[in-house]
Structure 1
Amino acid sequence: MFKHSIFLRIYAGLLILMVLVACSGYILTQMINYQRAQEYRESLTDGMAYIISEGIARQPNRQQKEDWISDASSLLGIPIFYVGADQVALSRAELRRIEQQKAVVRYEAENGVAYVVMGIKNDPQHYLYAQIEEITEQQMKFLPVFIQDYLAYYSGQEAKYLANIQQHFSYPVTIQSIRDLDLDSEQLSRLRLGNGIILYRDNASIRGTTISIISPLERDPSQAIVIGSVPLFNWMPFELAAGITLLSLFILSLGVYGLMIPMQAKLREVNRALDQMQGGDLSVRLPVDGTDELANLATSYNNMAEHIQRLIEAQRELMRAVSHELRTPVARIRFALEMLVDEDDYDYRVQQMDMIDKDIEALNTLIDEIMTYAKLEQGMPSLDFEQVSLFEVLDQVLIETEALKTGKVLELIAPPIGLEVETERRYLHRVIQNLVGNAVRYAETQVIMSGGLNADGMAYICVEDDGPGIPLEERERVFEAFARLDDSRTRASGGYGLGLSIVSRIAYWFGGEIRIDESPRLGGARFVMTWPPGRPTKKK
């Protein structure tokens, strides 16, 4: 059942797709978080890398530089090494960061250790190489010490130079009055004792938990260096990410299911209609709503049902008409054969044989007409479209008709000799031949043929006669198979009532139409067939 249900396959595909989306989303989130964490680590170290670089650059000789680095390592509680630049392999992007006086951070997730490489101002031959396993309160409390060491060279201008170095920090570093800080008594006491404090604050906004480091200014204890607030890195918890992803996929699946329900209902209607068609009921038609694929399916079904219904009705009508039309020549042949049995007169026997031969020829003609009509009625025949000279086909039919010695005057109003249209020559010849034959049969004295391109750019052929014409209310019926009019165009005029039906079907498959009106020149009937001069689109 699963493999036969398109909707089960769609739902299974959607489930697999949602799993793939969830896995891809998780992997992408991890990659983004890794990149965010790397940028966060670098943003925390860039400012201090600049301050430490400035502090080392102020030392006059190598020994004092190494002593300064040793003191810094002890204060921060992390190993810091003074190494040659050739001992550290850096990428092009990392070298660019060093040139911009920023830090290079390499984090090893396996052992949770970050390696920090810092450049030294005016000493491109050496780097500082630090190993940080974790960030402690000791390190945070001593960060202001390095900033104060830098500002000690600019006594009285601390605020100005602090503003100058702000560009190297991704978080604010300011000098503020202690009285302006929102601190409790215990925190104020620790500041008066010269100790730094660390403030953790929870924020309901996107920043989350933040850290601020406050250290009293040595030159003026009433003021303090305030670092931060610095937001803690916010990893998106796996449970939260998974929950959001699953909820989103669930809502998506509900939406897709809601979109599928109307489609299922429409397909059930198609199935019901097909079941009724299988049972013999061809009257069911599907409602066509919109212009989507299902609407196209409904339209195709309706067209198919109408075509099948028309074919069945045409087949029934054809069987009734054929049985009727065949009886007359068959009865004449049987009568003639019975007459021959007892007849000894040779001339009379020859006369009867000639009549039998004519009846057999009539049967052959009728069968040929029936086969042609059936082929055109069942579906689009194999049409070999080519560029055809309209004048040549009209002139050919004119010559063939005059050779029959009909006693009628045939006139051709010829189109330009060089005019060519894309059509099927054999069927176009059949159309003109049928129309001219029909006109000759009912004309009094004259028939006019013409063709060309009309004002709308459509190819056309026109056949007119000076006969009695066709009443307006009968003009549609003459194109029905085996139809004959009761007044002016009687059975005595000959034919089987299939010629105009064949013309109508050929016009349909050419993508055109055939119409009847009154001839303005001769007063009789005028038949005009029009069709696109290019290749028509295939019809169902």
Structure 2
Amino acid sequence: MNSIFLRIYGGMLAALVLVALLGFLTLHLVNQVRGDEYREGLARGTFRLMADNLQPMNRVERHRALLQWERLLGIPLDVQALDQQPLDSHARERLRRGQVLVIKDGHKPSLVYSLLSGPEALVLVGEVQQISEQLARATVYLLSDELVRYPVAEQPARLAQIKEGKQFGFELKLITLQEAQLDDDQRRRVDEGDTVMALGKGGESIHIFAGLLDTPWVLELGPLQLMNPAPPQLLVLIAALALSLIGLAVYLLVHQLERRLRGLEGAATRIAAGSLETRVPTRGADSVGRLAAAFNHMAGQLQHLLTIQREMVRAVSHELRTPVARLRFGLEMISDAQTDQARRKYMDGMDSDIQELDRLVDEMLTYSRLEQGEPALKFQRVDLDALLDQVLSEQAPLRPAIRLLCGTTPAAEPALVDGELRYLHRALQNLVSNAMRHAETRVRVSYSLQGEQCRVDVEDDGPGVPEADWERLFTPFLRLDDSRTRASGGHGLGLSIVRRIIYWHAGRALVGRSADLGGACFSLVWPRQQTQREATV
């Protein structure tokens, strides 16, 4: 048991380490995705604005514009064919849907792609080293250049149109210099046409302010949230906490499992010590609960088999006592016999006792084989008419005073059923022999084929069996206290053997009262077709 739990704990530990590694990698991947979304949000509006400005230009005008932007912004820019870009199909599809791509490869500059509208499938490509600062300068320059083309009064409305159409990832506003949250030095620089970057509250964002010349407006960009990826220490801490919580949960589950399994182990030990009534609680429908239910069923079966074995030992001891005593008496009388006729008489009696012992041993062995496991049944097609004729012809000479009747008229077609011929013969022989011992004058045997079922009835005109004793009549070594007493012969195993035989044929053995003869009616019912089963005794 301890080695089992050591293996369980080892497997759980390996699983926890794997979960921790997967959690660490998942958080790292989340950081990457957050970084890509952050960079794309910064670059989206600016590169869309540049791409839309380049669209109506011819090649020469585009080249001049790109050179001018490169000098002012410090960003290498180029217009290339989309098919020439080292992009996968998913990235190309995103560009065709109007999205802006930002591809970051280690410490190299970020590559930004934006598709120019039109039939030529051209893409604007830029290399951005410091994406927040360079894109901020580019945004200020492009917006300022765009807004100065409109009257002062129309500039706020035009800015709103640009923000909505280009889907900037941050706020764009035109405010007055007095409204800007800047100190005096910063206000002076903005008033002189400079661009000022101011940290927001908490230092986790920045605002960019740029004055528009010859206007009362100040262009405010932001807040631009800073990208703060989770540090490795935080990732390790989260992984450790997750590992601890999962480990605690697994420990509680395994501890409960261990406690329940140790209960099973203790119950098995008590059963092995002889306490056969021991059972374990069957809580829940999980694997341990099903195991406990199977354990209780096994314990019940074991108790039942041992009870049968003990009863059989007691019954056999009782059954052997009478013939052994008669044999001892016969041996003593032979030595005292004066004539050959007297010795012959005692020897015939001893021979009869030996035959009775032989029959008892045969019945015990047969019942033991049928009770302790599934016998090797080799089913074959059996002709019921031929089988009943054979059984009746064998039993008729044993009690000539009893009339054996066949209650079924043979049909034109043979009455064929599946069965193990040797065992079916034994079951019918036991039933007919039992009926002949208790019949007054008649015994009738009949059969019927009803759909997929076969039924054989053995009836007699004897005293019958009380209804209260019908079920326990098949108990091994049982004799009822009425007319079916020891004087009628038998050892009490015949009907038990019948029930086990028909059980292995997937059928039932029943007892009732004969409506025609008034005595007992024993019935065997089993399927006409059997599935072949092979098993060892």
Match of 2:87 among 85, 88, 91: 91
Do residues 432 (structure 1) and 431 (structure 2) align? no
Displacement of 1:267: 1.9
Decide whether aligned partners of structure 1 residues 465 and 119 sit closer, same or farther in structure 2, where only a CA change above 3 A counts: closer
Query: Structure 2 CA distance, aligned partners of 1:27 and 1:297?
Result: 39
Aligned to 2:49: 51
Q: Structure 2 counterpart of 1:113, which letter?
A: P
Greater shift in the superposed pair: 229-238 or 53-62: 53-62
Q: Structure 1 counterpart of 2:250, which letter?
A: V
Decide whether aligned partners of structure 1 residues 257 and 532 sit closer, same or farther in structure 2, where only a CA change above 3 A counts: farther
Aligned to 2:6: 8
Aligned to 2:237: 243
Decide whether aligned partners of structure 1 residues 386 and 33 sit closer, same or farther in structure 2, where only a CA change above 3 A counts: farther
Aligned to 2:361: 367
Query: Structure 2 CA distance, aligned partners of 1:176 and 1:361?
Result: 122
Decide whether aligned partners of structure 1 residues 421 and 439 sit closer, same or farther in structure 2, where only a CA change above 3 A counts: same
Query: Structure 2 CA distance, aligned partners of 1:290 and 1:413?
Result: 55
Match of 1:178 among 176, 179, 185: 176
Question: Is the 2:128–2:134 contact (alpha carbons within 8 Å) kept by the matching residues of 1?
Answer: no
Decide whether aligned partners of structure 1 residues 60 and 315 sit closer, same or farther in structure 2, where only a CA change above 3 A counts: closer
Question: Is the 1:406–1:440 contact (alpha carbons within 8 Å) kept by the matching residues of 2?
Answer: no
Question: Is the 1:171–1:227 contact (alpha carbons within 8 Å) kept by the matching residues of 2?
Answer: no
CA-based RMSD:
4.0
Displacement of 1:251: 2.3
Displacement of 1:484: 2.3
Question: Is the 1:49–1:101 contact (alpha carbons within 8 Å) kept by the matching residues of 2?
Answer: no
Identity across the alignment (%): 36
Decide whether aligned partners of structure 1 residues 364 and 27 sit closer, same or farther in structure 2, where only a CA change above 3 A counts: same
Displacement of 1:374: 1.9
Displacement of 1:299: 2.9
Q: Structure 2 counterpart of 1:364, which letter?
A: D
Do residues 71 (structure 1) and 68 (structure 2) align? yes
* 3-state DSSP of counterpart to 1:90: coil
Query: Structure 2 CA distance, aligned partners of 1:366 and 1:201?
Result: 104
Displacement of 1:335: 4.6
Match of 1:520 among 515, 518, 531: 515
Do residues 280 (structure 1) and 294 (structure 2) align? no
Please list, as runs of the form range in 1=range in 2, the aligned pairs for 1:390-429 lying within 5 A after superposition. Answer: 393-402=387-396, 404=398, 406-414=400-408, 423-429=419-425
Question: Is the 1:54–1:150 contact (alpha carbons within 8 Å) kept by the matching residues of 2?
Answer: no
CA offset digits 1:221-255 (Å, max 9, x no partner): 2x343433333334233333332333233222322
Decide whether aligned partners of structure 1 residues 123 and 144 sit closer, same or farther in structure 2, where only a CA change above 3 A counts: farther
Query: Structure 2 CA distance, aligned partners of 1:459 and 1:21?
Result: 62
Displacement of 1:16: 0.9
Please list, as runs of the form range in 1=range in 2, the aligned pairs for 1:102-501 lying within 5 A after superposition. Answer: 104-109=101-106, 111-116=107-112, 130-135=126-131, 137=133, 140-153=136-149, 155=151, 158=155, 159-160=157-158, 163=161, 166-172=164-170, 174-178=172-176, 183-184=181-182, 186=184, 188-202=187-201, 209-218=204-213, 220-221=215-216, 223-337=217-331, 353-385=347-379, 393-402=387-396, 404=398, 406-414=400-408, 423-452=419-448, 460-501=455-496
Query: Structure 1 CA distance, aligned partners of 2:283 and 2:119?
Result: 78
* 3-state DSSP of counterpart to 2:264: helix
Q: Structure 1 counterpart of 2:10, which letter?
A: A
Question: Is the 1:75–1:139 contact (alpha carbons within 8 Å) kept by the matching residues of 2?
Answer: no
Q: Structure 2 counterpart of 1:233, which letter?
A: M
Query: Structure 2 CA distance, aligned partners of 1:258 and 1:55?
Result: 65
Query: Structure 1 CA distance, aligned partners of 2:416 and 2:213?
Result: 104
Greater shift in the superposed pair: 320-329 or 89-98: 89-98
Displacement of 1:19: 0.7
Displacement of 1:151: 3.9
Decide whether aligned partners of structure 1 residues 383 and 87 sit closer, same or farther in structure 2, where only a CA change above 3 A counts: closer
Displacement of 1:401: 3.1
Gaps of 5+ in 2: none
Query: Structure 2 CA distance, aligned partners of 1:418 and 1:229?
Result: 99
Question: Is the 2:39–2:131 contact (alpha carbons within 8 Å) kept by the matching residues of 1?
Answer: no
Q: Structure 2 counterpart of 1:449, which letter?
A: V
Q: Structure 2 counterpart of 1:77, which letter?
A: G
Match of 2:39 among 38, 41, 44: 41
Under a length normalisation based on structure 1, what TM-score does the superposition of the two structures give?
0.81
Decide whether aligned partners of structure 1 residues 112 and 81 sit closer, same or farther in structure 2, where only a CA change above 3 A counts: closer
Query: Structure 2 CA distance, aligned partners of 1:450 and 1:180?
Result: 117
Question: Is the 2:115–2:121 contact (alpha carbons within 8 Å) kept by the matching residues of 1?
Answer: no
Query: Structure 2 CA distance, aligned partners of 1:295 and 1:99?
Result: 59
Query: Structure 2 CA distance, aligned partners of 1:290 and 1:45?
Result: 58
* 3-state DSSP of counterpart to 2:181: coil
Query: Structure 2 CA distance, aligned partners of 1:120 and 1:325?
Result: 107
CA offset digits 1:283-307 (Å, max 9, x no partner): 3222333333323333333333333
Greater shift in the superposed pair: 288-297 or 91-100: 91-100
Under a length normalisation based on structure 2, what TM-score does the superposition of the two structures give?
0.82
* 3-state DSSP of counterpart to 1:447: strand
Query: Structure 2 CA distance, aligned partners of 1:237 and 1:299?
Result: 52
Q: Structure 1 counterpart of 2:193, which letter?
A: G
Query: Structure 2 CA distance, aligned partners of 1:432 and 1:509?
Result: 15
Decide whether aligned partners of structure 1 residues 162 and 390 sit closer, same or farther in structure 2, where only a CA change above 3 A counts: farther
CA offset digits 1:397-432 (Å, max 9, x no partner): 344434655432333444986776655443333222
Displacement of 1:386: 5.4
Match of 2:25 among 24, 27, 36: 27
Greater shift in the superposed pair: 17-26 or 317-326: 317-326
Displacement of 1:373: 1.7
CA offset digits 1:54-84 (Å, max 9, x no partner): 445566773x655543432232234x25576
Query: Structure 1 CA distance, aligned partners of 2:121 and 2:310?
Result: 104
Greater shift in the superposed pair: 89-98 or 431-440: 89-98
* 3-state DSSP of counterpart to 2:104: strand
Question: Is the 1:173–1:225 contact (alpha carbons within 8 Å) kept by the matching residues of 2?
Answer: no
Decide whether aligned partners of structure 1 residues 290 and 439 sit closer, same or farther in structure 2, where only a CA change above 3 A counts: farther
Question: Is the 1:458–1:530 contact (alpha carbons within 8 Å) kept by the matching residues of 2?
Answer: yes
Query: Structure 2 CA distance, aligned partners of 1:290 and 1:136?
Result: 59
Decide whether aligned partners of structure 1 residues 425 and 405 sit closer, same or farther in structure 2, where only a CA change above 3 A counts: same
Question: Is the 1:47–1:102 contact (alpha carbons within 8 Å) kept by the matching residues of 2?
Answer: no
